[in-house]
Every structure is written in C-alpha cells, then in structure tokens.
Amino acid sequence: MNISKKWIRAGFCLIWLPLSVAMSCNTSPYPDGLYAEIQTPKGTVVCELDYKRAPLTVTNFVGLAEGTIGNQARGAGQHFYDGLTFHRVEPGFVIQGGDPNGDGNGGPGYQFPNEINPELTHDKAGTLAMANAGPNTNGSQFYITQSPQTRLDGRYSVFGHVIQGMDVVNQIQVGDRMEEVRIVRVGKDAKAFTADQTAFNKCLQDIQEKHNNANNNQQLTSQITPMDTGKYEYNEDGLYAEIQTIRGNIVIRLEFEKTPMTVANFVGLAEGTINNTAKKPGEHYYDGLKFHRVVPNFVIQGGDPQGNGQGGPGYKFADEFDETLRHDGPGVLSMANAGPGTNGSQFFITHNATPHLDNRHSVFGRVVHGMSVVNAIRQGDVMEKVIIKRIGKKAEKFESDQQAFETYQKELVSRQEKAKEKQKADFDKKIKGAKKKVQTTASGLQYTILEEGKGDQAAAGKVVSVHYTGYLEDGSKFDSSVDRGQPISFPLGQGKVIKGWDEGITLLKTGSKAIFFIPPSLAYGENGIPNVIPPGSTLIFEVELVSVN
C-alpha cells in the first residue's frame, strides 16, 4: 500500500533483533496482541492492530497482507502490500500507502463500510487508519498520522497505532517502498484470529446487521410495496434495463446518448451480443448473477460472475464521464472499478447521493421505478433476469454488439485526445503568460507572483499552510491539495519538503498566489519518483499561501 510506504521514514537508527532470531529463542518481541511490521529501506514501523474493536478493518488489512482475501490487483495468495509505495506524504500530517496503482486512485477492486469505534480516535501521532474517498469507500489504502488529527474522527476508520518506529514514519518520503508487511500474532487470542475471505464476509455481515437493527430496518426494509411489484408503464421514449429479482423489479433508464460505450457494454452483455470469457456466445450475461455486495445507505453492487467481487467479462475498458451525469441522489447506476480504466461488468446502484464518486466511476443510468426494491436488496440476492427494452426510434437504432462496442471505444479515445489537446493548449497559454513575468533566484528557482498577499511574510522556522497543484512540463497533473480539499502544513526551512518549496514559499505573504518552476536540482533530481515523476523532471506548481504561524 502506498500509504504505508510514506509513513515509514529513513534514518531509523535503533538496532533491531530480527524476528526470526527472537522466535528461535521461543521469545516474542511484543506483548500479547496482533501486529504489523512494515519494513522499508528506512527502517521498520511496527503497528499494533486493534482486532477486537475494529474486526472488519483489521481482517481486511491482515487478509490483504497475508494474501488470504481475494482482490483484483494481485494474484491469489500474493501478499498485497509487499512492494507497494507510500504515494502520499503530507509533512506534519500523514503518510499514505496501499495503492497498487501508486497514484492514489487504486485499490483491491472492492469497497467496504466505515467501522467507527468512539474509543479509537486520531488523538496522537502514529494513528493507523483507513484512507477513503468518502463514507463507506474503504479498500486497501491506509495512512499513519504524524501528529494528532482529531478532526478526522468519525470520518476515517482507526484500526491501530504505531508502537515502534515513529522516527521512521517521520522520515518517509513519497515513493518509499514497503519491502514487506509481516503480520505477527502473539498470544492465544491473536493466534485464533482468522483473516480469510470467510471471516471478512462474516464481519461485513455483522456490521450490516448492526446497522439494520440500529435503524429498525427503516431504510433497508425487505417489504416490497405493491407499486414495485406491479408492471412499469414505459410511457417515455428511451433505453431501459429491467432487473428482475425475488424482491421485485428495478427499472433503469440508460443514458445511451451521453455514455454510449458504457451503455453498449451493459446492454451487449445483458443480451449476449458482446464476447466475454464468463459465458458462452448468445448467453445473457447478467441472468442468474447476484448482488455480491450491499453497503447500507451507500450502494448495492452486482455483475460479477464469480460472485465475490473479483470476477468480470475478461476485458477492461476506459472510464466515460459526462459532466451532467453525477452521483447526485438515490438510484444512480454506475460502473464499479478497481481504478481508472478498469471497467468490466460490475455495476452499482446508489442508496443516496455520493458526490465523492464523481469522475471516479462512470454514471450511465438512473432508477425510474423500484427504489424500494433497491433498498430491500440483501447480499446474495439473485438477478433472475435483466431485460433490455427499447422505446422509440433512437433507442431502437442504438447498436450494442461487439462491433458497435469497439467503435464507441475508438470514438471515446478520439474525444479524450481532443480534450487533452485543449487542456494542453490552455496550460501552455497559462504558463506562457506566467513566464513573461518570471523571476529567477540564485539557486535556479523561477517564480511568478500572480497575486500579492497582504498577510504575514513566510520565513524559515515558521509553520505554513499551502494549497497547491503540481504539473509536469507536458501539463499532466501529478498531485493537488486543492483536489483533496486539504492544504498541507509544514515548518519552513527544515527539509520537510523539496528545496524549491523551502525557498519559494519564503518569498510569499499570506494570501499570495504564485507559480513555481522548480528545476530537478531543487526537486526530485535525476531519480524522480517511480510511476509519479520521471527522472530529471522540472516541476511546475500553482501555490497559494493560506496561513503563516
């Protein structure tokens, strides 16, 4: 996990007794409990896992670490976190890892709900918690705090804390690798703790049952109203999918004009006109599959021929976003994925608005009938049939066979290339304007003040808060605090950030906005950061100095 890597920092100076030696002497380096040893080139971080108060989250972490939980990123039995990097480091805030993509967008191919225990808080440095993209979107990414962060309480699932190696955590840099994540069980209770797929599913079921009991089944009732079991009248032209289940029918209007490729994939699979490795030619792909994942008040998910979140049609295709199609309410139909460009056959339907999923998952339809059925679906419920209905000339003409699907893919690539060209042109125009007023320091740092602030002057030794967006010279964005909605805070002049930042921020006053052109010698040098920043890259940053303390 990339988050783990970033938490572990270089300069670990204690002398460690190898675990194998300690075990050979029939002694344990730890008290009774469950532990994760995160080994990095900069030292080892040891976390105690709170498996009794956060069983679901710990089961997920341990199962991935030991290769006993299925996922789409690594093969069966492979240790998920070994070799991943810390892809995000916010000095004084957190280090984050656990992303197989290495860019903050990846995961195991499934998501699970938050597990918030009021006794587990971000009350100190070294808190281990799950990173997420919003409520109930936990996967494999985690973070470790470098200072108390109580404002995160209630939003992120805490499941452990560092007991050794905080100096390593404080030295971790972006790109540092987790060489190995080893799980250590000490004592009878910890040794009896299992973390396989069955245990994970049981923990998930327990959380769902607790939620249902707490809410008296008000939002997830199994009762279907007469209207839902009745026949839907297709009075408006359009392309529809009717999902028939034992709890009633769900009717979805498909956005074939706005997302033709994604709809063609869904319709082609449903009607058996698109080639796949799970079913024979002509077989209706979705018929008989089940909803393998149900997260109360979040989503129901189905479309996996294996029924465990790991399966698909044997191919993947790109994301297809339309700015008018958002996760803005209940009943939104969207593609499940394991990161950008990994769509297949799995889809989900929302219980509520989930705007944090926008531009991460491709919306391609909305429920027009049967939301109470959506709310009644339970994990394991079967889609008996998925019937496609075409109403009107446009819908009747819409093609969704193999050839049409491939054509839509090519058209999407063409549209995306044109969009990138426009984005590059806009970026070049902005940079060209900034270059006209650029100033150069003795070190080679170039900067342009876009807006002069009127607040306190930044200086070495002061703690600053900065919003930023970072680009490569080709205009591609590699990181942004603006996108995350959280500026970074760090002490100036102490090497907590790259040299170009330590120098450039001192030139600004609170409220200032600027563009930095940072040469490799003041950034990440000739090595760069694997999968993020190429070797020898000049970096371009748009920055805003938010505060100086």
pLDDT for the residue 3: 35
> Domain 437-548 is in which class?
alpha beta
> Domain 2-206 is in which class?
mainly beta
pLDDT for the residue 486: 74
Which entry of 182, 292, 327, 361 is annotated as an active-site residue?
361
Instruction: Read off the pLDDT of residues 183-237 as tens digits, 9 standing for 90 and up.
Output: 999 999 999 999 998 899 889 888 877 765 554 443 433 333 333 445 688 889 9
Cα gap 18→41, rounded to integer Å: 15
Fold of 226-408: Cyclophilin (2.40.100)
pLDDT for the residue 160: 97
Is 361 catalytic? The answer is yes
pLDDT for the residue 420: 83
Do the two domains 226-408 and 437-548 of this chain adopt the same fold? no
pLDDT for the residue 11: 29
More confident residue, 290 or 485: 290
> Closest Cα partner for 310 from 66, 108, 80?
108
pLDDT for the residue 288: 97
**Sequence ranges of the domains in the chain:** 2-206, 226-408, 437-548
Cβ-contact 379, 350 below 8 angstroms: no
More confident residue, 208 or 70: 70
Which entry of 298, 405, 517, 541 is annotated as an active-site residue?
298
Cα gap 325→176, rounded to integer Å: 38
What is the signed CA dihedral for 327, 333, 335, 338, rounded to 10 degrees? 60
Is 472 catalytic? The answer is no
Cα gap 145→116, rounded to integer Å: 17
pLDDT for the residue 26: 36
H/E element, 466? strand 463-471
Instruction: Read off the pLDDT of residues 7-63 as tens digits, 9 standing for 90 and up.
Output: 322 222 222 223 322 333 334 578 999 999 999 999 999 999 999 999 999 999 999
pLDDT for the residue 408: 95
Is 356 catalytic? The answer is no
Please compute the mean of the pLDDT values over residues 177-187 and round it to a whole number: 95
SS3 sequence of 364-421? EEEEEECHHHHHHCCCCCEEEEEEEEEECHHHHHCCCCHHHHHHHHHHHHHHHHHHHH
Instruction: Read off the pLDDT of residues 133-170 as tens digits, 9 standing for 90 and up.
Output: 888 889 999 999 999 998 888 899 999 999 999 999 99
Cβ-contact 222, 378 below 8 angstroms: yes
Give the strand pairing for 463-471 and 332-335.
unpaired
More confident residue, 213 or 386: 386
Cα gap 144→289, rounded to integer Å: 39
Confidence of residue 484 (pLDDT cuts 50, 70, 90): low
Which entry of 193, 317, 348, 405 is annotated as an active-site residue?
348
Residues 6+ positions from 374 with CB-CB distance below 8 Å: 250, 300, 330, 331, 349, 351, 367
pLDDT for the residue 270: 98
Cα gap 544→467, rounded to integer Å: 5
The Cβ of residue 437 has, within 10 Å, a number of other Cβ atoms equal to 11
The mean pLDDT of the chain is: 88
| Burial readout 270-303 (b: 16 or more C-beta within 10 A, e: otherwise) | bbbbbebebbeeeebbbbebbbbbbbbbbbbbbb
pLDDT for the residue 495: 87
Which entry of 301, 310, 343, 446 is annotated as an active-site residue?
301
Confidence of residue 70 (pLDDT cuts 50, 70, 90): confident
Give the strand pairing for 33-40 and 86-90.
unpaired
Residues 6+ positions from 379 with CB-CB distance below 8 Å: 204, 205, 208, 291, 292, 293, 294
pLDDT for the residue 222: 33
Is 298 catalytic? The answer is yes
Which entry of 164, 310, 337, 343 is annotated as an active-site residue?
337
Which entry of 182, 293, 327, 369 is annotated as an active-site residue?
293
DSSP string over 474-508: TS-EEEEHHHHT--EEEETTSSSS-HHHHHHHTT-
The Cβ of residue 313 has, within 10 Å, a number of other Cβ atoms equal to 23
- In the chain, the percentage of residues whose pLDDT exceeds 90 is 68
Is 87 catalytic? The answer is no
List the single range of 77-86, 181-190, 399-408, 411-420 with lowest mean pLDDT: 411-420
Instruction: Read off the pLDDT of residues 82-92 as tens digits, 9 standing for 90 and up.
Output: 999 999 998 88
Instruction: Read off the pLDDT of residues 444-466 as tens digits, 9 standing for 90 and up.
Output: 999 999 999 999 999 999 999 99
Please compute the mean of the pLDDT values over residues 314-321 and round it to a whole number: 96
pLDDT for the residue 213: 59
The Cβ of residue 448 has, within 10 Å, a number of other Cβ atoms equal to 17
Is 301 catalytic? The answer is yes
